[in-house]
């Protein structure tokens, strides 16, 4: 492969993977947050029912 401008090509490819991975991690983080909130809400409802 011609190595002219290789560094910028690498930056471009790295940016693609970084953005895709960043978005996938954001989605995973949101999933965890929603699950945590559901658990908290369940606990809250159980406490209210007991009262």
Partner 1 sequence: MRERVLYALGVAAALLLARNLYVILLVLPDEAEQGAIYRIIYFHLPAWFTCFAAFLAAGAASAGYLARNDSRYDALAVAATEVGLAFCTIGMVTGSIWARNQWGIWWTWDPRLTWALITTLVYGGYLMLRRAIEDPNERAKNTAVLSIFAFTSVVITYKAIDWWRTQHPGPVLSFRTGGGKIDPAMESMIYVNWAPFLMLAVVFVVVRMRQELARRELDALRRFAHAM
- Nearest-approach distance from CB 46 to partner 1, in angstroms: 11
Name the nearest CA neighbour of 24 among 16, 35, 12, 34. 16
Binding to partner 1 by residue 20, rule CB under 8 A?
A: yes
- Nearest-approach distance from CB 13 to partner 1, in angstroms: 7
Name the nearest CA neighbour of 10 among 50, 28, 37, 1. 1
DSSP-H helix ranges across 1-51: 6-50
Q: Which of residues 28-47 bind partner 1 (CB under 8 A)?
A: 30-31, 34, 37-38, 41, 44-45
- Applying CB under 8 A, what is the total number of residues that bind partner 1? 27
């Amino acid at each position: 492969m011609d190595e002219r401008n290789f560094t910028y090509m690498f930056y471009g490819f790295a940016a693609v993977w970084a953005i895709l991975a960043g978005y996938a991690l954001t989605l995973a983080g949101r999933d965890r947050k929603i699950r945590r909130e559901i658990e908290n809400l369940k606990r809250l409802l159980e406490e209210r029912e007991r009262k």
